[in-house]
Chains A and B, each alone.
Chain A
Amino acid sequence: MIDVDKLLASAKPIGQEEIRRQIVLPWPEAFRIAIRNVTLRLGRAAITATGVILGIAFLVSVWTANIIQDAMREDRALPALQEQAAAADLDGQVAAMEGELEQPDAQQAETKARQVWLVVMSLLVCGVGITNSMLMSVTERFREIGTMKCLGALDEFIVRLFLIETAVLGFLGALAGAIIGHLVMLVIYMIKVGPSITAKMDWGQMLKYIGLALIVGCIISLLAAVPPAVRAARMPPAAALSTEV
C-alpha cells in the first residue's frame, strides 16, 4: 500500500548545494538513452539500418571491384611489358605499351563516371530512406517527446537524442555494409579469377576505402537525421496531452 507518512520525513529541501540552477543533459546520459532506444526498438532500427547497409555495401563493392581489377590489370600487363622490353629497344617499346594501357583508360574513364553516378544515386536513396524511417519514428513517439519536454528537456536535448540514435545506426549499418559489400565482391572475383588475386590486391588502399565508407555512412546518416530532428524539436510539450498524432 501507499505509505504516505514517509512522504514528509522532514522539511529540508533537496540538496541545494548539489543542484545548481541549470538544465543539462550530460552526453553519457544522452548516449545511454539513445542506445537504449535503438536496442529496444530493434525492428524499426533494423529497417533504418538496412538502407545504410545496402548503400554502403554497394559503395564498398564498387571500390573493391576497382581494386581487384587494378590488380588484375597489373598482373596481366607486367609480364607482357617485361618480355617485350627485354626483347627489343626499351624506350620505344615501353612508350608503345604505355600508349596501349592508356587507351583502355579512356573507356575506363567513362565507366568510372557511370560508376560514380550510380554510387551517388544509391547513397542518396539510402539517405532518403533513413530520413523517412526516422521521421516515422519521431511521429510515433510524439507523446514521449512531449513528455520529456514537460519534464524540462530543452529542444536541443531532443535533437541530441535523435542525432545520436541516427548516428549510431548509421555507423553500425556502415560497418555491416562495408564488410558485406567487400566480402561479396571478393568472393565473386575469387570464383571468377581464382583465389590468388587476394595476394595481389592493394590492401592498404582497400582499408582506406573501408574507413572512408564508414565516414561516408556516418555523414549521410547525420545529414539524413536533420529533418526528423527538426520535427522533434518543434514538437510542443502539450503533445504529451493529446490523444492523437
Chain B
Amino acid sequence: MARFECPKCKEAFETDGLVTVCPKCGADMRDAMKKLAQIQAESARPTLGKDESMTTHEFIVRTKNLKKIYKMGDVEVPALRGVDLDIKRGEYLSIMGPLGPGKSTLFNMVGGLDKPTEGTCFIEEVDMAQLDAFELAWLRCRKIGYIFQTFNLIPVMTALENVTLPMIFAGMGSDEMLERGAFLLDVVGLGDRLHHKPYELSGGQQQRVAVARALANAPAIILADEPTGNLDLHTGKEIIELLKRLNAESETTIISATHDLKMIDVSDRIVHIRDGQVERVDDRADLDLQIGGMGDEEE
C-alpha cells in the first residue's frame, strides 16, 4: 500500500496498484509514480549504516568524577571513587580490571544501565541522570546495542525473532523488520538458521545472533560485556574480528569489559580499573612492543 499525493491538486490517497491519472483532478501521475518507485526501491535496501541525523560529538561518552556507592545493609561499598573518562566516537575501548564492583559498575554507568551516586555521565552530551524512564528506554533501544557474556537470547523465540525484538520496540513495520532481521543474520553468517531457537544453536552461533541483535537499530555504541567469556578460542576470535571490522568501517563505538587478552589486541585504548579508580589508560600503539614480547602463544 503506497500513499502519495497528486502534484497538482495535492489530493492524498493510498493505492496498491498503478495509478496514472489523479482521481480528483485528472492530472497525469506517471512521473510521480516513477519517482515513488525509485524512492521505495532505495529505502527498501537494508543497510547497516549509522543514523546520520545525529550531530557529531567528538566524545560520545564523557564521565566526570563518577562515584557510585552500593549500600549492602549497613555497609557502604564504594564501587567507583571518582572516574573521569572520555570515550571518542568510533573508538574501540576495552575496560579491564580485577573482578570486583569497579569494572562492571563503570560499564553499567557508561551503558545507561545505572545512575551514579555522584558525578555525571554524559552520553552524546546528554546527562544520563536527567533522563526519564521513557528517554532511557529510547536510548537503550536506538542508541546502544548490548552484547552479554551469557548471550541472553530469549529462549522461546527463534533467532530471527530475537534479532527483530529491538525493532518491534522501535516501531518498525513488520515487513521491513523481517527483511532487516534476515539481512543481519546473513551478515553474521547465520542466514540458514533464521528459525532455529537458541537451544538449537551452539554458543558461538548464539553470540553471533546476539551481535546481530545488537545491530538491530544501527546503534552508535555497542556495549559488550565479556563477549568471548563463554566461547572457545576459535569462536572467540571470530567474534572479535567481527566487532573490529564493524568498528573500523562503520564508526560504531565499541566499549567492552573484558579479561580476554585477544581483545586488547584490537582495542584502540585500554582502561585499567582498580579499586574504583582509573589506574591507567593505555593506547594500543604504546602496547605494540609489550604484546610482541608476550607472544609465545601458539594458535
Contacts and interface: CB of A to CB of B under 8 A. Distances in A.
Contacts of A154: 133-134, 137
Contact of A241 (B45, B108, B180, B242): B108
Interface stretch (B23-31, B56-64, B147-155): B147-155
A211 interface: no
B113 A237 contact: yes
A22 interface: yes
B154 A144 contact: yes
Contacts of B50: 13
A13 B218 contact: yes
Nearest to A1: B189
B245 A7 contact: yes
B213 interface: yes
A7 B187 contact: yes
A17 interface: yes
Contacts of A17: 43
B42 interface: yes
Contacts of A25: 168-169
Interface stretch (A36-44, A123-131, A201-209, A217-225): A36-44
Interface residues on B, range: 35 or more
Contacts of A152: 137-138, 140-142, 166, 169-170
A241 B141 CA distance: 17
Interface residues of A, number: 50
Contacts of B200: none
A240 B146 contact: yes
A23 B141 CA distance: 8
B266 interface: no
Contacts of B250: 7-8
A146 B45 CA distance: 32
B170 A2 contact: no
Contacts of B138: 21-23, 152
B176 A18 contact: yes
Contacts of A192: none
Interface string B188-204: 11000000000000000
Contacts of B53: 13, 16
Contacts of A8: 48-49, 249-250
B217 interface: yes
Nearest to A17: B43
B171 interface: yes
A106 to B, nearest CB: 56
Nearest to A10: B47
B165 A243 contact: no
Q: What 5 pairs across the A-B complex have the smallest Cβ distances? A: A152-B141, A4-B245, A152-B169, A147-B152, A40-B156
Interface of A: 1-4, 6-26, 29, 33, 36-37, 40-41, 143-144, 146-155, 157, 236-238, 240-241, 243
Given A2-B238, A151-B216, 14 more contacts: A1-B189, A2-B187, A6-B186, A8-B249, A9-B46, A13-B218, A18-B172, A147-B146, A148-B165, A152-B140, A154-B137, A237-B140, A241-B107, A243-B150
